[in-house]
Amino acid sequence: MDPLAAKEANEAKLPPPDVLAPVQEMVRACIQCGTCTGSCPNEFAMDHTPRKLWRMVMMGLKDQIFQSKTFSLCSNCYYCTLRCPRGLPLTEAMDALKQIAARENLTKYRQSTLFYKNFLRSVRRHGRVNEMEFMALYFAALKSPFSPLRFAPLGVRLMLKKKVSLAVPLTARRPLEAIFHNVAAMEGSR
Amino acid sequence: MNYHYYPGCSLEGTAREYDLSTRAVMASVGAQLIEIENWSCCGAAAAESLSYLLALALPARNLAIAEKRPEVTDILVPCSACYLNLKKVAEKTRREPGLLDRLNRILMDDQLQINGQVHVRHLLDILANDLGVDTFRPLVKNGFQNFRIAPYYGCQCLRPFAVFDDPEKPHTMEPLIEAIGAQVHPWNLGGKCCGASHMNTDMDISLELVTAILRGAKGADAIVTVCPMCQMNLEAYQQKISRRCKEDLHITVLYLPQLIGLALGLSEQDLGLDLNLSITNRFRAMIHS
């Protein structure tokens, strides 16, 4: 067996790497200064502050991290990334945690995960998002009869302005099929 | 002056007036916009919350189509979220070894390839720096004297990449507002977050952020925005917010090219002014007087 194949065979026997490992790599140099917490517009609604979250990531407290809403409340304003004195990609680290929650279908994050997944379902079908179709898919997936009501008045206003339409575009071709397929193949083979 | 044009999905739907007014203002100064052929979604906030690679591959497809016409070097993007997603591909492929190859392998089946040659530009950058006040000032027909305008930048045209403005204290819009005769509303909320797509998943938190912004804009005659998500969050929930905090926080919210277009004498119809959700009667009376 050549050395490369031997190395691969050896690696295949190892347990899968901890899901947090790539996120730990991103925040390893964190000095716990709290600039991220002080800069975060959504910190007031979080159960753990961003600073604390990075420490939890480094300590590998997977269960506690994925019981917390902190990363799912990141609205990608990039203040923490801009101001971090260590230059860490903190917004991306929040995204990485969202990606893990989506990949593992964690029920706590069901609402935001369904929101994002149904957005991309519409994009995959037509190449562009059809806002009305996407919201219909999202509400159907939530299976909660009352959640659309919060948005109904806005939906009606937008329809009256002809900004959204109930008509779903009839598209035969799915222009992004190869891209979605190739990304899935590449990510699955990591 | 020629630009590739990437409108993005919102500008075909809820932000149609941003598309109309961008095209109208650019046409009025003689700039040509070449829409990227069969452009597709940039992934918005959805792709980056689900997959690192997909969040780069979706915008990369659009850059690759634009690169087929190398004589046009810049892409004009009005939506800040689209702008950042496209910009990320350009920045990351320069810094992350091997990424360009991976993206090209993903795009290969569609006979597309990126080399990282094309410049991704936000509309505000182009209005302020390529065109600038010297272009607009002589064209002003209806000056906005006696108007106080609050410039709202939002997040993603400023951060994380500090390209054309100070990401902490943005000011690019101020000379443009002054060039059309209006005053700049003094505030420090122009670069603060509106909650973005959290309005759909965690509404109460976003409403809190928007409430602070609307309060800060009190005393201004209008807020101007440069992002469909900011525009929607600031204009669509004013009644709910006003009722909730028992305070009248209704205010006109316009896209920047709508404001500039009005000053240049373009028609309200061409600027899609009837499509906005929060133009107050007072503001209408002011622009008609």
Task: Check residue A3 and give its pLDDT.
Answer: 63
B 62-101 residues with CB below 8 A of A?
A: none
pLDDT of A18 = 86
Q: What are the residues whose beta carbons fall under 8 Å from the beta carbon of B182, sequence distance 6 or more?
A: B144, B145, B147, B148, B149, B259
Q: What is the pLDDT of residue A171?
A: 59
CB within 8 Å of chain A, chain B residues 242-261:
none
* B57 CB within 8 Å of a chain A CB: yes
Long-range contacts formed by A69-72: CB under 8 A, 24+ apart: A69/A45, A69/A108, A70/A46, A71/A97, A71/A98, A71/A101, A72/A98, A72/A101, A72/A109, A72/A112
What pLDDT score was predicted for residue A132? 83
**A157 at the B interface (CB within 8 A)?**
yes
Tokens of B262: 């009005």
Q: Which of A98, A151, A176 is the closest to B40 by Cβ?
A: A176
**ipTM for this prediction:** 0.95
pLDDT per position as a tens digit, B239-286: 999 999 999 999 999 999 999 999 999 999 999 999 999 999 999 999
Whole-model pTM? 0.94
Q: What is the pLDDT of residues A144-184, one digit of tens each?
A: 777 788 888 888 899 889 888 766 665 557 899 999 999 99
- pLDDT at residue A169 in the model: 61
Any bridge partners for residue B3, and if so which? B33
Whether residue B160 has a cis bond before it, omega within 30° of 0: yes
Using a CB-CB cut-off of 8 Å, the residues of chain B touching A96 are 52
Q: What pLDDT sits at residue B283?
A: 97
Most confident range (mean pLDDT) of A6-10, A16-20, B89-93 is B89-93
Of all residues in chain A, what percent carry a pLDDT higher than 90?
64
- Bigger pLDDT: A186 vs A5: A186
Domain with CATH 3.40.50.11810 in chain B: 133-288
The CATH code belonging to domain B133-288 is 3.40.50.11810
Round the CA-based radius of gyration of chain B to a whole number and report it: 19
Which residues in chain A have their CB less than 8 angstroms from residue B193's CB? 41-42, 75, 77, 79
3-state secondary structure of B149: strand
- Please report where in the chains the tokens 């990369």 appear, as a residue: B60
Domains for chain A: give ranges and CATH numbers.
16-104 (1.10.1060.10), 109-188 (no CATH)
Q: Where in chain B is the domain with CATH 1.20.1050.140?
A: 2-122
Contact criterion met (CB < 8 Å) for B196 and A76: yes
pLDDT in tens, A55-112: 999 999 999 999 999 999 999 999 999 999 999 999 999 999 999 999 999 999 999 9
Q: What CATH topology corresponds to B2-122? A: Glutathione S-transferase Yfyf (Class Pi); Chain A, domain 2 (1.20.1050)
**Which residues in A lie closer than 8 A to residue B160 (C-beta atoms)?**
78, 81-82, 91
B45:A128 CB<8 A: no
Instruction: Tell whether A175 is within 8 A of chain B (Cβ).
Output: yes
The Cα B257–Cα B11 span in angstroms is 13
Rounded Cα distance, B155 and B193, in Å: 6
Q: What is the pLDDT of residue B42?
A: 97
pLDDT along chain B (289 residues), means of 10: 96 96 98 97 95 97 97 98 98 95 97 96 98 98 96 98 97 98 98 93 95 98 98 97 97 98 98 97 94
